[in-house]
Chains A and B, each alone.
Chain A
Amino acid sequence: MRRFIYKVLCAGACCGLYISCTNVSLNETGETPVIPYDKIEPNSPALKDNYISPYEYVEWVKNPEHNLNRTKEINEFTFTLLNKPLDYIISIDQRKESITGSEYTKLKNEFGDLMYFDFTIEAAKAPTELLKYKVSGEAEYQRRVTYFSYEMQKDFSLIDDLDTLPCILFHYERTYDIVPYGKVLLGFNPLKNISGKTFEFMYHDKVFNNGYIKFTIRKSDLENIPKLKTV
């Protein structure tokens, strides 16, 4: 019986050692512990020192658990907001398994220090193109095209307790009849001093009559984003 208890204890100790070894490993320099990205809890302080590959970075940002990829459903519409950190944009731009330090610095300077977002509107029963959804005729369709191409920008803003920032970079990806959703790429000047714990992203939907569409962004979610590993 005693031998059996010893065996169980030894097996438990071995398992514990194995789990701790597989969960945390050392990086190339042997200084910073690297945690596999799928094991990272949101808001974990470990993220501050965590470097992940471009592929892992894209997956991490897209994972809704990390609060950078959010959706809101209002009746037949789904609004999606993807908060794109600069490292995410660089990862998407390069489409490589690894990025060198010089490439990274060059791209970082190129993209500047704006806050980038993708905003998507999808209608569940849209025929082939979002702009054609419940459109009354050609004239209304053309009005929608003009609005989405040139006027929509002024309906986006970032709102802090003390400040309201307009959208300064805007591009509507017109997909014609390929996909039933509409996507806009947005850029805002960074909120230098976020006074509260949160700030708001806001869009006024005037075309489909859904009113203000808001997403609250937590400061803590932005502080815990991992970094892109370079070679």
Chain B
Amino acid sequence: MLNSIRSLRIAIIALFCFTAFILFYTLQTNTKTAYINITEVFNQFDLKKQLEKKYTVTKNARDKVLDSLKFNLQMLNTKLSDPKFRNDTLLVYFNLKKEEFYQKNGEFEKDNQNYSTQLDSEVLSQLNQYIKDFGKEHKYDYILGTDGNGSIMYAVDNKDITKEIVEYINLKYKGVK
């Protein structure tokens, strides 16, 4: 009787140890993974919003210059279409203005493109760093990014840390954290 109780106790302890070992092993090997909606994170990042405003101001100023040149061209064109005002000097002047418009338009398009690329690179440079910091701080093995192009086909909702990341990166950007 005593022997059977003892062997039962040993069996229970052994089972407990085995369960603990399995649990520990699972926890050790289990990778911590989450995903974020890249587009949402990018759009909600305060630095992106601020730089976007700056870009819009510059672009609007350039658009105004182009609008003014375009208006002048239209006026000249109207004048030229009237035989009363048409002469060679006016035609030369019109062509010069037209060339100036195309040249400025090309320049501004190129500048806008370069400026936009530069600002995007400024945003991404900080964004990547803060996501890395978040991952390290919260001990993630992987933070995956989804933008609806099929990179992640399915994940449970509680693995979506987009909101948490947005809050974190904006605090980091402000220099509070």
Q: Does A100 contact B (CB under 8 A)?
A: no
CB of B118 closer than 8 Å to a CB of A: yes
Q: How far is the CA of A83 from the CA of B126 in the complex (A)?
A: 23
- Summarize B's interface: helix, strand, loop or mixed: helix
* Chain B residues within 8 Å of A72, by CB: 175
Number of residues from A at the complex interface, CB < 8 A: 17
A210–B126 touching, CB < 8 Å: yes
Roughly how many angstroms separate A211 CA and B126 CA in the complex, as a whole number? 8
| B50, CB-defined interface residue at 8 Å | yes
Inter-subunit contact A211/B47 (CB<8 Å)? yes
Whether A209 lies near B175 (C-beta < 8 A) is no
Q: Is A144 an interface residue (CB 8 A)?
A: no
Q: Give Cα distance in the complex from A209 to B47, angstroms.
A: 13
A212 is an interface residue with CB less than 8 A from chain B: yes
CB neighbours (8 Å) of A210 from chain B are 122, 125-126
Alpha-carbon separation in the docked complex, A214 to B119 (Å): 16
CB contact list, B124-177 vs A, under 8 A: 125-126, 128-129, 173-176
Asked if A44 is at the interface (CB within 8 A of a chain B CB), the reply is no
Q: How far is the CB of B124 from chain A (nearest CB, A)?
A: 9
Interface residues of A (CB under 8 A from B): 70, 72-75, 198, 200-201, 205, 209-216
Given contacts A74-B126, A75-B125, A200-B174, 10 further A-B contacts (CB under 8 A): A72-B175, A74-B129, A75-B129, A211-B47, A211-B122, A212-B173, A214-B174, A215-B175, A216-B174, A216-B175
